[in-house]
Amino acid sequence: NSVDERNKSAAIGAGATPESLNLPSLDRVAAWALDLRPPAYPRERIDMVRAGPGETTYKAECSSCHDIGAPRVGQVTALAEIGTDPERVRSFTPELAGRMNTIGEGQPWQFSHFRKTEGYANMPLDGLWLRAPYLHNGSVPTLRALLFPEERPAEFYRAYDVYDWENVGFVSSGAEAAREGVRFDTRLKGNSNAGHLYGQHLTRELREELLEYLKTL
C-alpha cells in the first residue's frame, strides 16, 4: 500500500540498484504522473445514448471497487471471490515479502510495506480503453470479452498495436496479429482467463451500455 515503494521496486526490477536510484528523478516522475490525464477515447466512436445508462450501471455494479476514493479501490479482493488465475498470488510467498522488506537496508527509505495477501488489489480504471489485455495476467484481450466471458478466446495474440474499436482492445486474432504479435495460451499455468464474472446477472443490453460508458473513463 505504498506508492513510493512500488515506484522504487519497479525501478530496481528494471535494473537499478538501491545505491544507484536517482531519488529526485523518481519523485519528479511520480509527481508528474499523479494527476496525468489519460488520452481520451475518440468521442465520435462512443454511442453517448447508450453510455448514459451505462454510467448508471457502472455506479451500481463497478464503482465501489474501481473509483478513486471508493471504499474498495486499492484493497485486496480474495481469490475465493474474484476467481482469477491464482499463480501470481501463490508465487508471492510470506518469505518473499520478508526478503522484499530487506531492500534498502541502511537507507532511510528501506522497504517495509510488502506483505503476503490472498488475492489481488482492485485498480482504478482511468484510461481503461488503452490498458488491454485485461485481468492481472493479461489473459482477456478486450473489454467486450471481459464483460461477456463466453466470448473470451482460449488463445490469442498480444503485442499487436492495431486498435480494435468494436471490441475495445487491440486486434488479437488474424494473420497480421499472428505475424506481429505473441501467442498467448490461456490453458497454460498462470495464464487462465477465468474469473472476474461480476455483472453476469445483467442483460446483454445493459452490458453493451456499460461497455460504451467504459470507453469514457
What's the pLDDT tens digit per position in 40-88? 999 999 999 999 999 999 999 999 999 999 999 999 999 999 999 999 9
Res 172: pLDDT: 98
Q: How many CA atoms lie within 13 A of 9 on its CB side?
A: 17
Instruction: Kindly state the helix (H) or strand (E) to which residue 19 belongs, with its residue range.
Output: none
Using a pLDDT cut of 90, give the percent of the chain over it.
98
Q: Specify the 3-state DSSP secondary structure of 38.
A: coil
Cell numbers given for 42: 475518440
What is the distance between the alpha carbons of residues 130 and 142, in angstroms, rounded to a whole number? 10
- pLDDT band, residue 1 (cuts 50/70/90): confident
Name which of 120, 125, 116, 124 is nearest 76 in CA terms.
120
Interval 88-141: pLDDT, tens: 999 999 999 999 999 999 999 999 999 999 999 999 999 999 999 999 999 999
- The pLDDT assigned to 123 comes to 94
For residue 206, CA distances in Å to 55, 73, 151 come to 10, 23, 17
Q: Inter-axis angle of helices 48-61 and 204-214, to 10 degrees?
A: 100
Residue 7 pLDDT level (bands cut at 50, 70, 90)? very high
> What digits encode the pLDDT tens for the residues 161-180?
999 999 999 999 999 999 99
CB contact at 8 A, 158 and 138: yes
Residue 143 identity (one-letter amino acid): L
Q: How many helices (H) and strands (E) does the chain have?
A: 10, 6
Mean pLDDT of 170-191: 98
The residues, any chain, with a CB within 8 Å of residue 185's CB and separated by 6 or more, are: 154, 155, 191
- Tell me the residue ranges of DSSP E strands in the chain: 76-78, 119-121, 155-158, 163-164, 169-170, 182-185
State how far the Cα of 201 lies from the Cα of 212, in Å rounded to an integer.
18
Q: Rounded CA gap, 97 and 95, in Å?
A: 5
